[in-house]
Amino acid sequence: MKLDPTKMKDWEIAEAAAEHMKTVYQLGEELGLEKEELLPYGHYVAKIDYAKTLERLKDRPDGKYIDVTAITPTPLGEGKSTCAVGLMEGLGKRGKNVVGALRQPSGGPTFNIKGSAAGGGLAQLIPLDKFSLGLTGDINAIMNAHNLGMVALTARMQHESNYTDEQLAERGLKRLDVHPKSVEFRWIIDFCAQALRNITIGIGGRMDGFTMQSGFNIAVSSEIMAILAIANDLKDLRERIGKIVVAYDKTGKPITTEDLEVAGAMTAWMVEAVNPNLMQTVEGQPCLIHAGPFANIAIGQSSVIADKVGLKLGDYLVTESGFGADIGFEKFWNLKCRFSGLKPNCAVVVATIRALKCHGGAPIPRPGRPMPPEYNEEHVEWVEKGTANLLHHIETVKKAGINPVVCINAFYTDTKNEIEAVRRLCEQAGARVAVSEHWLKGGEGALEFADAVIDACNEENDFKFLYDLDTPLRKRIELITKEVYGGDGVDYSPEALAKAEKIENDPELSKLGTCMVKTHLSLSDNPNLKGVPKGWRLFVRDILTYKGAGFVVPVAGTISLMPGTGSDPAYRRIDVDVETGKVKGLF
């Protein structure tokens, strides 16, 4: 059966391709995995025992390390995952031993407007239904581990409010004296549930819990998700979970999960989740799926463990950072690579003609609404003006000392003149440019893309961090704002300023990394400012401390850690064929 993306929906392509996919046993054999290193979850999905695999291959040299990032996207996304999969397929067509390492999709966007993160057309991961609907349960494990910590905290607050010190001692407890207005932890759920952002818990009698304000964040923003992304092994993960600060006592002293004696039980939920998952592209290239944090409200990377395993198993490892280079790549550069000790050989900056038009003055597309007709017409002037945003991201990659490759993620509505305008401007800026038709043609359409990446990987680079860990927090935030976002400076709310000063004066906290939270729809903290905004200042309204993950989290603008579900969500079109049990409508 010929798979035609112009006539078939993504889920229809995935369903048809799944009829011919390799079993995990075939994938394992092709990767050179030993029998005990492959942990099957059915015939087409598996986990890999990372510890046994890395121990056996510890003397094997690493492959080439490639990160896929992008320009500032439209609300519809620019196809980074599609490009990452297309690059895997293109490298496969060139006879290269390639492995991918991508994030697991959250149920939030899958059932909302953006959809799953499997790629699209002939450049997607299969089986799509397993990928999109929980996979092997990692996010469920994270939710249970995280919420168990919240259960322990709220139960302790209830008991301390009901019992005297002597009565607590009889139960083997020492009073922690949690300040009810200094609780850092919240509940998590893997949906976009704006109704749960702010709630009151403990309503009822004295045995119904401690009454206080609380709320939910989306699961991928959990500190445990961040820990899964950056942990080097199970021991490291256990130690980090024990350092999570859930609240402060009435003297301002932090209270951790270790203080609550729940860290071990939380880790028990994560024992299986620490192993990366194995899937494949529609053309049979292996891809490791592990961790799934968003980049606008979290670290935005797949796991360090998956990268390390993939670099041992393949000659090329393709990973991807969430949203634009100002967000996902900046965290890959200054956080993930710092935690892992790995140095990339190449970074891909994905761009679409559609997004360049948006940055150049075209009407902003709105999720759930028809695409404005201007996007199906030739507008070279908008494309040229919008390319300023792409050039800004190219310079960000260069500041890391990495060789940039621009991938024009081609749509069939793009015109030759529009594409040539982008190529000309990017080559003048010193970047390689490749046009890729992987969505339409799979690996055959990504050969120019693959060749450009191979060439970039063969060049030496001078990878360096933007800041060292001795740099004070506010100086780091200013560096990121000026050097990566293009802002003029930083302003703080009184609360954020007080927290920044406290962190800078704490010998331990001052050495943590910096994980910015900011809108992905603009280089600024205002999602409505497109292109390369000038004359603006970043507003930091709060600063969170993720001591277990090893970074502090400055929160800029009005962004929320719990996204909302739109008026035309994807779940309206998802259903099950009750005769076959197959899921339809995913995208």
Which active-site residues does the annotation give?
80, 82, 103, 114, 295, 323, 411, 439
- Extract the runs of DSSP E, i.e. beta strands, from 148-304: 178-183, 187-189, 199-201, 212-214, 216-218, 245-249, 254-256, 277-281, 286-289
Q: What is the DSSP letter of 40?
A: E
Residue 99 has phi, psi (to 5 degrees) of: -130, 145
> Count of CB atoms within 10 A of residue 315's CB?
15
Which of 67, 83, 5, 13 has its CA nearest to residue 352?
83
Contact status, residue 289 vs residue 274, Cβ threshold 8 Å: no
End-to-end CA distance of the chain: 20
Residue 416 has phi, psi (to 5 degrees) of: -60, -40
Report whether the peptide linkage leading into residue 494 is cis, meaning its omega lies within 30 degrees of zero: no
Quickly tell me which residue has 């998590």 as its tokens.
188
- Extract the runs of DSSP E, i.e. beta strands, from 96-241: 98-102, 119-120, 123-126, 178-183, 187-189, 199-201, 212-214, 216-218
How many residues in total does the chain contain?
A: 587
What is the b/e burial string over 499-512, where b = at least 16 CB atoms within 10 angstroms of the residue's CB? bbeebeeeeebbeb
Cα 434 from chain centroid? 25
What whole-number distance in Å separates Cα of residue 68 and Cα of residue 368? 27
What whole-number distance in Å separates Cα of residue 437 and Cα of residue 449? 9
> Count of CB atoms within 10 A of residue 18's CB?
17
Helix, strand, coil percentages, rounded to 5, for the chain: 40, 20, 40
> Count of CB atoms within 10 A of residue 98's CB?
28
What whole-number distance in Å separates Cα of residue 301 and Cα of residue 336? 8
Q: What angle do CA 449, 454, 455 make, to 5 degrees?
A: 100
Look at residue 318 and give its three-state secondary structure: strand
Which of 316, 281, 236, 341 has its CA nearest to residue 289?
281
> Count of CB atoms within 10 A of residue 396's CB?
26
What whole-number distance in Å separates Cα of residue 127 and Cα of residue 44? 7
What whole-number distance in Å separates Cα of residue 338 and Cα of residue 20? 40
What does the block give as tokens for 435?
């046009």
As a three-state string, the secondary structure of 237-250 is HHHHHHCCEEEEEC
Residue 290 has phi, psi (to 5 degrees) of: -160, 125
